[in-house]
Chains A and B, each alone.
Chain A
Amino acid sequence: MDWTAIWLTLRLATATTAILLVAGLPLAYWLAMSSWRGRFIIEAVVALPLVLPPTVMGFYVLMATGPNSPLGSLYEQTTGTLLPFSFPGILLGSILYNLPFAVRPFTAAFAGMNRRLIEAAWCLGESRWRAFWRVTLPVCWPGVLTGIVLTFAHTVGEFGVVLMVGGNIPGVTRTLSIAIYDDVQALDYASASHAAGLLVAFSLTVLCITHALGRRRLPV
């Protein structure tokens, strides 16, 4: 079993999920509540990774983070290292590629919620910020949980974008799914089947937990 690849994959998935939770909740809340007419443009951009081939996405991320690009050169100046073929590089690609898996379930949950509940909290003297934490988030919890789990699971199984942006460096950018691809290329079917089996078991477990948890009230 390639423990280095598993550890790297878990780190990538955790970091991606955490960042998308923090950035995705406000974006989703705004998308669900805004009455701005141009909102659909943002929605389309968020959904783009769903239809775009991972290689296309990865190609653009690679171009945008290269040492000659504004972002890449800025990163190089501040940290002294290159963004492509590094962990921060694949993290950036992973965040962009997973945007819809987090934001869309969040948005659906916020949009489907009874807005009178939020207004009731306001009329009971709670600020918008507190109403979000005390009412909106607990009520939308199943949808938010779905977004978290989908993002995490989807990052664990990610292949194309990571390969394009990160290449295949053990311990740095070689995630589990890339390790499987490598093993198959090297005709090491035993190792590939271990890792593949692990991914299937992991995915199934995660989905079972989500479905079970989604039905329960949030413990508050």
Chain B
Amino acid sequence: MSDELVAQFEKAYRRGPVIHGDLRVSGTGFSVTVLFGPSGCGKTTLLRCLAGLERPETGTIRFNGLTWFDAASRVSWSPQRRDVGFLFQEYALFPHLTVGENIAFGLRNWRVEERRRAVADMLDRFQLGGLESRYPDQVSGGQQQRVALARMLVRRPRLLLLDEPLSALDAALRDELRSQLRHWLSEFAIPVIVVTHDRTEAIALADQVVLMQTGRVRQTGSVEEVFSRPVDSDVARIVGVETVELGEVAGVSNGLATIRVKDVSLIAIAPTYPAHRVHVCIKGEDVVLQRKTPERTSVRNHLPGVIRWMTPEGPLVRIGLDCGFALTALVTRPACEELQLQVGEPIVALLKAPSIHLIPKD
């Protein structure tokens, strides 16, 4: 009996692409797996297959030793029987029921007293007190999301499936809720699978990233692995950011933060929300390479390092540096020739503080 969700299946659409699900996720305790990829790559379909809302043509889905789906032996559990929590993109709150009735919807068989206590606990946890007799269209978008979370979590399902949980919110609220969402979910010892096409969301939420493209899983690994070490140039293009490293905020003053990444100190714009652990994201095109450390410059970060590898990509060259941590730079071919860059040679990477993007982790 393995405490894992193991899914391997194919789902075909009439006149559409074939979705290949290939997933292995811990089945107990809190962990967040993010299915990340561009729109239309099949990640929502994969999620719906896990919930039992879609039926694959071939393959198997097993959860903690239970066979949820097996095409060969015609086993296919209903969503009701799988006992998963599903958060829909637009939340799918029942418009004819109040906030309180929405949260209590799945507790029909509970004793009245227990049900009342469970709903009260959820209202409290998600700061929805006083709203229980309002209808969903009478509360804000952020509140609607919390109602949907409460409705799903109050039953303590075995697995949580979240489809683009933040996409229905406006940009300001999305920033605020990214780290909040992970915190809320971490209070329940339930594994979570999140679908998103938003890079920041993926980095902020994920323990494990599953990168999908045109119906296939292309890479699985930690945030740093998938984003900083993409398996090929297709994946690199999708992740769109060349360097992602975990760092710690060592100090903040005058709106600037000092971040420790391994043994290197970086100066960056401080995040709007107080955070200790952050993901440091650096785009390759923002890295300037120079032979020597400049004497006087506005650029805050000077990182001496060594060139580890070089890959030409059309008019550009992708250059891997070791500056105490792995950093990828994108420079033009002429620049590369002018500087006579060679693998193994020392170099200085310059990074402006605003080009270091910080994503709070918890």
Contacts and interface: CB of A to CB of B under 8 A. Distances in A.
A14 B152 CA distance: 42
Nearest to B109: A125
Given A123-B79, A124-B155, A117 B106 contact: no
B30 interface: no
Interface in A108-149: 114, 116-117, 119-127, 130, 134-135, 138-139, 141
Interface stretch (B88-96, B124-132, B203-211): B88-96
A121 B101 CA distance: 13
B80 A125 contact: yes
Given A122-B80, A127-B80, A218 B88 contact: no
B96 A138 contact: yes
Contacts of A119: 53, 79, 86, 88, 92
Nearest to A118: B92
Contacts of A134: 105
Contact of A126 (B85, B97, B106): B106
Given A125-B80, A125-B83, A125-B106, A220 B92 contact: no
A114 B106 contact: no
A67 B97 CA distance: 53
Nearest to A218: B96
A122 B92 contact: no
Contacts of B86: 119-120, 123
Contact of B96 (A114, A116, A217): A217
A117 B135 CA distance: 15
A114 B155 CA distance: 23
A120 B88 contact: yes
Contacts, number: 58
B11 interface: no
A121 B105 contact: yes
A127 B80 CA distance: 7
B361 interface: no
Contacts of B53: 119, 122-123
Given A126-B106, A218-B96, A116 B88 contact: yes
- Among A119, A123, A124, A139, chain B packs the most CB atoms within 10 A around the CB of A123
Interface in A164-220: 217-218, 220
Tell me the interface secondary structure of chain B in the complex.
Answer: loop
B96 A139 contact: yes
Contacts of A218: 96
Contact of B94 (A117, A123, A125): A117
Contacts of A126: 80, 105-106, 108
B248 to A, nearest CB: 39
B55 interface: no
Contacts of B83: 125
Interface in B20-42: none
A150 B72 CA distance: 49
Interface in A89-122: 114, 116-117, 119-122
Contact of A123 (B51, B90, B96, B97): B51
B78 interface: yes
Given A119-B86, A120-B86, A122-B78, A114 B108 contact: no
A124 B90 CA distance: 16
A116 B90 contact: yes
Contacts of A122: 53, 78-80
B84 interface: yes
A130 B109 CA distance: 13
Interface string B51-90: 1010000000000000000000000001110011110101
**Shortest beta-carbon contacts, A-B, top 7:** A124-B106, A116-B92, A120-B92, A123-B86, A122-B79, A138-B96, A116-B88
Given A116-B92, A138-B96, 15 more contacts: A114-B90, A117-B92, A123-B79, A123-B80, A123-B84, A124-B105, A124-B152, A124-B155, A125-B155, A126-B105, A126-B106, A135-B94, A141-B96, A217-B96, A217-B135
Interface of B: 51, 53, 78-80, 83-86, 88, 90, 92, 94-97, 105-106, 108, 135, 151-152, 155
12 contacts: A117-B94, A119-B86, A122-B78, A122-B80, A123-B53, A124-B155, A125-B106, A125-B155, A126-B106, A134-B105, A135-B94, A139-B95
Interface of A: 114, 116-117, 119-127, 130, 134-135, 138-139, 141, 217-218, 220
